[in-house]
Every structure is written in C-alpha cells, then in structure tokens.
Structure 1
Amino acid sequence: MPSRTRSAVVAAVTAAALLGAPAAATAAAPDAWSAAPAPGGAGAGSSGRPYFYLEGAPGTVLTDKIAITNPGAAPRTVRLRGTDADGAGSAGRTGGAGHDAGAWLSLASKTVKVPPRTRADVPFTVTVPADAVPGDHPGAIVVSGDGRQAGVRLALRVSGPTLAALSVEDVRVTGRGAAARIRYALVNHGNVTLTPRLAVSADGVFGQVLRRPARTLPVELRPGQRVRLSEKWADAPSFDSVRVELTATAGGGAHATASADYRALPWGWAAVLATGLCLGGAAWFARRRRRRAPPPAGGPAGEETGEREELAGTGSGART
C-alpha cells in the first residue's frame, strides 16, 4: 500500500474515543472491537448511522468511511473487505467480493491496527460502472479479527428508473395439527430492495379458519433474489377442505397473491371411512356375483317334481 494511503488511515485514528469505558471490563473482553459507519458521513445524525447509504449515477465515484473502535486495553488488528450483500439478514456473503457492489468497493487499507481505547476511521470509495443498471445494489464491508467477524451494510442505489415487483410462489401446507406449517417462496422481480409484508387467510367448508393481518417479515429481498419461508399454523383444522391465500406487499406498489388447497382428515376418520368402503365394496361384489351365478344342474327335488307334474298335467289335457 502506498505510504500516503497508510498515513491517511493512521491520521484518521481518533485517540481516546472511549475514555469513559472501564479498563477492567474492556480488558476482559478481547473481542470487544466494533465496526460502524464513521460519524459525520452522509445521512449521519446525532445518533449515528446503522449502515451506509450512498447514491449516484453510473460512472460516479462515491466516498465514505468505516469506523473501527477498540475499547480494550491492548491493540487490535482487523482485516476489512468489500462484498455483495446476501439480502437474508446477514450483512454480507462469506465468500469473495462478488460481482456487484462488493467488486466496486475499494478500501484505503485492508488491514488496520487499532491502538487501545481508540477509533480508526478507514476511508473507502465505491466506483459505479458506467453501464451499471439503475436500482439497488446492496453490499457490505466485512471486518474480521480476534476470531470473529462482523459486517456493516452498504445500501447503494444507482440513479435511474426503478421498479418494485414481487411474486408469491410454491404455496403449500405441510404437516397436520400442531405440526402444520405454511410454506412459500417470495421473489423480487424488480430492481429495488424490498421489505415485504405478508397477510394470510384461509377459508374452509365450515367457514373462516385463519386470518392474519399484514405484518412486516424479517427479511430484505435484493433485486432478483428468491427466498423460501414458512410459518407455523398450530390451530390448523383437523377435518376440513381449506383454501389458503397469501398476499404480499412492499414499498413502491409491489403486490402479489397466491393460494393453495389443504385437505385435512384425521387418521381415525380415515381408517373408519376406508373400512366402510372396503366392507361396502365387498358386500356389493358378493350380491352382484350371486345375481350372475347360473342355477345348479338338476335343481332341488321339489322344483324337479313340480316341473314334471306341470308337464304331466299338460300331457293329460292333450289326451283328453
């Protein structure tokens, strides 16, 4: 790394950032370093920033700083890298930089040694390609050291037309009774990150069996992402034919609905019904077989005598 860049990183170290922290408590926690957006950046308020938010047109270069704070009594060395975000609750992928925001991000230093009770502000740049697609390109800066890893989210938006589009797919119900679960998939077909809300309803032969109003799901969908989710249905009916309907919405007007059929039949009732069908089928078959069976040869003695008497009487009448 050029000496000027290293000097800039060292100059960004703010000494005694945590003078009020007890030395004994920090000395007992060797992994107490933390990472966050540096104070005073874009969108920073009195309470600081929970993540980076940068926006620019294709071809622009955006800048910001990440702060590494060491409240302990010993120096800490951490490593930094940019990565694409995974969009499923984690700040970044565990693999390489990726091909999107992670590949566009460049850190002034990838290894930083932070003195005790000090904060190091590390500059970085995001170079948006000239052919970048408008919309959201989530990324993260991953910091690792002392046997642990943490990520700081980067919400990057490339200026241009945006589209919010969402679909609900593969809806089904698995399990029975208290073990029933409603399973489904959400797909982001647009170019902006979505925080979906989901409403669930179910109506059976005997009326309404489930109503869950729309609530925000604990997931963010990046553009093009598909996630599989499920939720418990502990009071699912044990004897009914139900239509389950899921409605997902998100900012920007995204809206989607999908449904699936669920038929519940208790094992006891199923066994009784199966037994009844088997017995009824056997009885019907036996009756039909008796009707089609030919009379036995010779017949009973009484029938034979009666038939002969009738013939004899007919013959006598002919003679008379």
Structure 2
Amino acid sequence: MRTAARSGLVAAATALLGVVAAAPPGDRAWTAAPTAGRPYAYLEGPAGSVLQDTLSLTNPGARPLTVRLTGQGAPVAFAARSVTVPARTRADVPFAVTVTADTSPGDHRGTVRATAAGRELSVQLRLRVSGPRLAALTVEDVRVDDTTGALHYTLVNRGTTVLAPILAVRAEGLLGTVLDRPARALPLTLRPGERATRTEPWPDPPALDSVTVRLTAAAPGAAPATARAEAAFASGPALAGTAGLLLAAAGGGAYGIAYGKRRRSGRPRTRRAPEGATP
C-alpha cells in the first residue's frame, strides 16, 4: 500500500508542480497553507492506511523561491522535500501521512513546516484514526514533599482521544481541611498514551500536622480519577513551641504537687492528751 501511495504521490507531484497559477496581489510575503484556504489539514482513515492531502506554496515576489518541507509529530512523506516556486506563482505539493497499524483510534496531531528565505511557517495536521473512541485519564505517582509542601503527580491519557485535563486538590489534616483548590484547567493537552509529570506548589503547608492529600483529575468525556498521598509536617519552630508548652504544663503540675505537699507538711498536728489528764 505504501509503495502504491508513494508512486501516486510522485505522479501527482509531477503534474501539479508543472502548473503555474497566478498569485493573488497584496502581501509580498510567501505563504504556505492547505489547499482551498483551509485553516489546517484534516485527514481521516483507519490504522494501517496512507492518507493524502496537498500543501499550497504561494510566492508573490519577483524572484523564484526555494522552500524546504519537513514534517513533525506524524510520519509525513512529501512529493518533493525541496520545491522551487517561480515568481508570482503558486505550487501545490502533495504529501501523504502513513497511519501505522498500531496507531490507536482517536485524534492525533502533527505539523508540516515550510522554510524559505530565513522564515518558517507551520501548518497543523489533524488526523482522526477511525475506531472506538474512549476518553480515559488517570492520576498516578502522587507524592508530597514534607519540606516544601510541593505536590508531585503524573497524568496519563489511557484512552484514544486527545484530552485537556482539569485538576482539583484537597488536603485534610487532624483538625479539618487545610487545602482546598477547586477544579481548574491545566495548561496542557495529552495525546493517547501520553503522560505528563507535574508539580503543584503548596507554599503554606501546615507547620505541625498529619494530612491526607487528594488529587482529582478529569477531562471532557472522561470519568474523574482520584489519587491520594499521606504526609506528616513537623517544622523545627513548631516542635520547639510544642515542647515548650509540654514543659510548661509539666512544670505547672509539679509545682501544684509540691505546693500541696508543703501545705500538708505545714499543717500543725493535734496530739491526743493522756487519759485522765486535764487539757
């Protein structure tokens, strides 16, 4: 299938690159974009297939322009890696994306980069591999730094679609809630099978407490996932203050006992008079 697709790609390139179209007037800067003015290239098909599209390179300048093409994030094959576009013309360059047999169903992304005259343009590739769609997210490896309070965790996309995670954080201490952060969007997206290790700052953890931290991650279409970790905080000043209170309490108790003894020892004793004696 790949050989046939590549042959067709080369044939199409030979035909299309020989056609010169008038470039639109206006901006003198060259452009690279999917054909038909689309904002991105969209490809859809099953795993194990080769999907094709076309990239339009427009040169409105007065001299020929040589453009170098590369792909990123997806296996992209171009009819020509380097294309010379004549002045005031447009060249349509076919390209193909190979979807390997082990590619998971769902949404995938890539980029086509065009470089010329010290300038680089990027065109997004959005690939949808047909098959059952599953949104699944887990939060793993939760750990609390008992010195700084920082929360370390890993998000894993276990499904077949691109996910935009949100995260909520809650921590319970011996006397109640010590941290409560509502769910908020995280500045990342996860492709199927992708994992991201992150750190959640906690600048003011308790000085002396035993806490249970719960992280709840979710994404549109995915069930919430919760993981927890235990941590004990015991800073030096807090321990010193607690020890002082205990010593003060112990000292007060000892003083009370000694004072009671002195009171008892200072009380005059009453002697009984011998029988028959006159008081």
Contact 2:139–2:156 at 8 Å: present in 1 too? yes
Q: Runs of 5+ in structure 1 lacking a partner? A: 27-32, 41-47, 86-100, 280-320
Structure 1: distance between partners of 2:128 and 2:12? 30
Give the Cα separation in 2 of the matches to 1:267 and 1:123: 68
Deviations 1:184-211 (A, max 9, x none): 1111222222222222222222322322
Which residue does 2:34 correspond to in 1?
A: 37
Q: Which residue of 2 aligns with 1:266?
A: 235
What TM-score results when the alignment is normalised by the length of structure 1? 0.60
Aligned residues of 1:6 and 1:109 also touching (Cα < 8 A): no
Q: Secondary structure at the match of 1:141?
A: strand
Change (3 A) 1:144 1:259: farther
Residue correspondences, number: 239
1:62 partnered with 2:46: no
Q: Distance in 2 between matches of 1:78 and 1:170?
A: 46
What pairs up with 1:4-19 in 2 under 5 angstroms? 5-9=13-17, 11=19, 15-16=23-24, 19=25
Aligned pairs for 1:155-170 (under 5 A) are 155-170=126-141
Of 142, 147, 150, the residue aligned with 2:113 is 142
1:225 to 178, 190, 194: 194
- Cα deviations by residue, 1:86-113 (Å, 9 ceiling, x for unpaired): xxxxxxxxxxxxxxx41xx322221133
1:79 partner amino acid: R
With over 3 angstroms needed to count, the CA separation of the structure-2 counterparts of 1:141 and 1:209, relative to structure 1, is: same
Displacement of 1:183 in angstroms is 1.8
Contact 2:164 2:220 (8 Å CA) reproduced: yes
Q: How far, CA to CA, are the matches of 1:183 and 1:175 in structure 2?
A: 11
- 1:111 lines up with 2:82 in the alignment: yes
User: Could you tell me which residue of structure 1 aligns to residue 159 of structure 2?
Assistant: 190
Give the match for residue 124 of structure 1.
95
Residues 198 and 247 of structure 1 are in contact (CA less than 8 Å); yes or no, is this contact kept in structure 2? yes
Secondary structure of the residue aligned to 2:221 is helix
Q: Conserved in 2, the CA contact under 8 Å of 1:9 and 1:109?
A: no
- Check 1:59–1:260 CA distance in 2 against 1; reply closer, same or farther (3 A cut): closer
Partner of 1:234: 203
Check the 8 A contact 2:22/2:89 in 1, yes or no. yes
Q: Could you report, residue by residue, the CA deviation over 1:134-157 in whole angstroms, capped at 9, with x for unpaired residues?
A: 334433323344556554332212
- Name the residue aligned to 1:253: 222
Asked if the contact 2:13/2:94 (under 8 Å) is kept, the reply is: no
Change (3 A) 1:171 1:35: farther
Q: Does 1:79 align with 2:68?
A: yes
Are the structure 2 counterparts of residues 117 and 175 from structure 1 closer, same or farther at C-alpha, using a change threshold of 3 Å?
A: farther
**Distance verdict in 2 for CA 1:267–1:122, change over 3 Å:** farther
Compute the displacement of 1:159 (Å). Answer: 1.2
TM, length-normalised to structure 2: 0.67
Asked whether 1:181 is paired with 2:150, we answer yes
* Superposition CA RMSD, Å: 3.7
- Cα deviation, 1:283-320, whole Å, max 9, x if unaligned, reads xxxxxxxxxxxxxxxxxxxxxxxxxxxxxxxxxxxxxx
Query: Counterpart of 2:160 in 1: which secondary structure?
Result: coil
Among 187, 208, 213, the alignment partner of 2:177 is: 208
More strand by share: 2
Matched, 1:172 2:158: no
Point out where structure 2 has 5 or more consecutive residues left out of the alignment: 1-8, 248-279
